[in-house]
Each structure stands twice: as structure tokens, then as C-alpha cells.
Amino acid sequence: MNLTGLGFVLLFAGLILAFIVLGRRRGARPAAFRPLEALQSLPTTVGEAVETGRRLHISLGTGTIGQTDTAAALAGLTVLDQISEVTVVSDKPPVVTASDGAVMLLAQDTLQHVYSRQNAQERYDPTSARVAGLSPLSFGAAVTTMITDDSLAGTVLVGSVGSEAVLLAEAGHRANITTLAGSLDPAAQALLFAAADYPLIGEDLFAGGAYIGRHPGHIASLRAQDIMRLLIGLAILGGALLKTLGILP
């Protein structure tokens, strides 16, 4: 019986709900978030894609659904939803790549919804969301060839990727297109930090929904995250203090 864990979850959930409610309140003081360069640059990339009439490449990484990296894939789907809203209206719909069948299916759903929201179902092409490769490396390698084949205008990578992300970034750099990339795996973040034009570091990966779409739920959860962050900080300090005082073994 892990009450601490349960309590943590309940508190977190409660905070999210609370912030959602607070956010809905009329005249609620709207949330403001610190500048986050990578995410705020997205419109540029998207705009370039739309204007150059090329396709935007949105990669959900090699993550899967139903496992611990589910969160990363979901974050990617959120971003996909936001971006495709804009790009769908271009005659060149975005290319979405994943490495897992389930993620790919969810991506197709997302695209389909966006299209139907834009009353453009007829232009929805299921293969615009595809599995590039079933192993991380084959995924990365496949994408390097896609960049020229599908004449991509930019790559937005939000998901869980490993070192193969470097292939993607390098290919993007060679094709002289913008690469915005973030990964669940900090080790990959480090590589992307060096290789990508716009690296998404740490949990910024999950901030997309709040920053791009300003989705109330996402804003609320970001605020909740901040609260939990403070709590964790206090816990660490407290723990260290107790340790120092010898109270904690």
C-alpha cells in the first residue's frame, strides 16, 4: 500500500482539475508562461512550410502507446493536432511519421479529425500518417530519405527518440530545413540540443498543448506541474535538512 504515491497522484489530479475550473471562471486571470523559444518558433516553421508549398514533417518519434513512453507519444499527438490545424489548409498536408502501429493509428485519427473540422475530409490521405520504420534506427534512417523524397519544409519531432534523432537532425541540416526536436529521453535531448535548430529540452516536450494551442486542460496541467515542482523542491530541501540533522537515517 503505497499511500504516498496514491496521495501524490490524487493531489496532482486535484490540482489539474482545480486549475481547469479556475481557468473557466469568468474573468479568470489568464495564465502566462515563460518564453519558450522552440515552441514559439513553431509558427515560423509551419508558416515556411505553408508558404513554400512544401510539406511539414511531424514526427512522433519511436515511442509507443501503452507503455511508459505513451506520454511522449501523446505530447506529440497534441502538437500534431495543433500544427495540422494550420497546415491542413495548405495543399500539401503534413507528413506524420511514427515507429509504432498504434501511434500511427492515433495520428491518422488526429489528422482525420482536423480535416473534418476543416470540412476537407476528401483531402485526407491516410498515408500521410505513416510508420517510417519499426526499429528506432530504421525509423531514423528512413526519415533521412523522406526529407528529400517528400520535399519537406521542416521537421517537428515530438516524442520519444534515441540517438537516431541525430540522423534526422543531420538530414534536416543538409536539406537546409528547420528541425525542431524534443525527446522523452534526456540523453537524446542532449544530442538534439547539439544537432537540432530548435531543441526542446526536458519537460518542455509536454508543454506543447499549453503553448501552441493554449488548450485549457493543458494550461491547467502546466500550472499544476509548477505547484508539484515546488512541492518536490520543498520535499528535497526538507529531506536534506532531516538528513543533515540526522533525523532521517
Pick out residues in 47-76 that bind another protein (CB under 8 A): 47-48, 50-53, 64-72, 74-75
- Exposure string of 201-232, with b = 16+ CB inside 10 Å and e = fewer, is eeebbbbbbbbbbebbbbbbbbbbbeebeeee
- Span 220-239, contacts to another protein by CB under 8 A: 220-226, 228-229, 232-233, 235-237, 239
Given 58, 79, 111, 219, the residue binding another protein (CB under 8 A): 219
| DSSP 8-class letter at 93 | P
Does 122 bind another protein (CB under 8 A)? Our answer is no
| Least distance from another protein to the Cβ atom of residue 111, Å | 12
| DSSP 8-class letter at 58 | E
> What's the first-to-final CA gap in the chain, in angstroms?
22
Does 205 bind another protein (CB under 8 A)? Our answer is yes
| Least distance from another protein to the Cβ atom of residue 57, Å | 14
Phi, psi dihedral angles at 118 (to 5 degrees): -95, 10
Q: Which residues contact 181 (CB under 8 A, 6 or more apart)?
A: 59, 155, 156, 157, 158, 161, 165, 168, 169, 192, 195, 196, 198, 199, 200
Does 11 bind another protein (CB under 8 A)? Our answer is no
| Least distance from another protein to the Cβ atom of residue 48, Å | 7
Which residue in this structure is represented by grid cell 486571470?
29
Given 45, 55, 96, 153, the residue binding another protein (CB under 8 A): 45
Nearer of residues 57 and 218 to another protein, judged by Cβ: 218
| Least distance from another protein to the Cβ atom of residue 7, Å | 9
- Span 134-173, contacts to another protein by CB under 8 A: 134-138, 140-142, 144-145, 148-150, 160, 162-163, 166-167, 169-171, 173
What is the Cα–Cα distance from 80 to 10, expressed in whole angstroms? 29
What is the Cα–Cα distance from 154 to 176, expressed in whole angstroms? 9
| Least distance from another protein to the Cβ atom of residue 157, Å | 15
Given 58, 79, 96, 104, the residue binding another protein (CB under 8 A): 104
